[in-house]
Amino acid sequence: MMKTSLASLSLLLGLCASAGATVLNFDGAAGCASDWFGAGPGADCDPGLGGPVLQGFGDQAGLHIEYRDLSTPDNWSLSWWKDGYNDLPGALYAGSDDAGSHASITLQALPGYQVKLNGFALGAYLNSSLGTQVHVYEIGGAQTLMQGAATAGDANTNTATTFSFAAGASSQGWVIEWQDSAYNVGLGRLDFEVTAVPEPQSALLLLAGLVAVGGLARQRRLH
Among 174, 179, 169, 171, residue whose Cα is nearest residue 190: 174
CA 115 – CA 63 distance, rounded (Å): 8
Return the bridge partners of 175, or none. Answer: 106, 137
Residue 125 has pLDDT above 90, yes or no: yes
**What single letter denotes the amino acid at residue 34?**
S
Contact 92, 140 (CB under 8 A): no
pLDDT for the residue 58: 96
pLDDT tens digits, one per residue of 168-197? 899 999 999 999 999 999 999 999 999 999
Averaged pLDDT, 193-214: 61
Distance CA 190, CA 27 (A): 12
Q: What is the pLDDT at residue 92?
A: 97
Please state, as a whole number, how many other Cβ atoms lie within 10 Å of the Cβ of residue 39.
13
2-15 vs 200-222: helix crossing angle, rounded to 10:
180
Which class for 98: exposed (0-12), middle (13-18), buried (19 or more C-beta within 10 A)? middle
The pLDDT assigned to 223 comes to 53
Sign of CA dihedral 126, 128, 132, 137: positive
- Which of 50-59, 115-124, 214-223 is predicted with the least confidence, judged by mean pLDDT? 214-223
Spatial CB neighbours of 126, under 8 Å, sequence gap ≥ 6? 84
Rounded to whole angstroms, the Cα distance separating 133 from 104 reads 12
- The string of pLDDT tens digits covering residues 130-148 is 999 999 999 999 999 999 9
Distance CA 180, CA 97 (A): 9
- Global pTM? 0.83
Q: What is the mean pLDDT of the chain?
A: 84
Structural domains of the chain, ranges and CATH numbers in brackets? 1-16+199-223 (no CATH), 20-197 (2.60.120)
Rounded average pLDDT over 85-112:
97
Which residue blocks in the chain are alpha helix, DSSP H?
2-15, 200-222
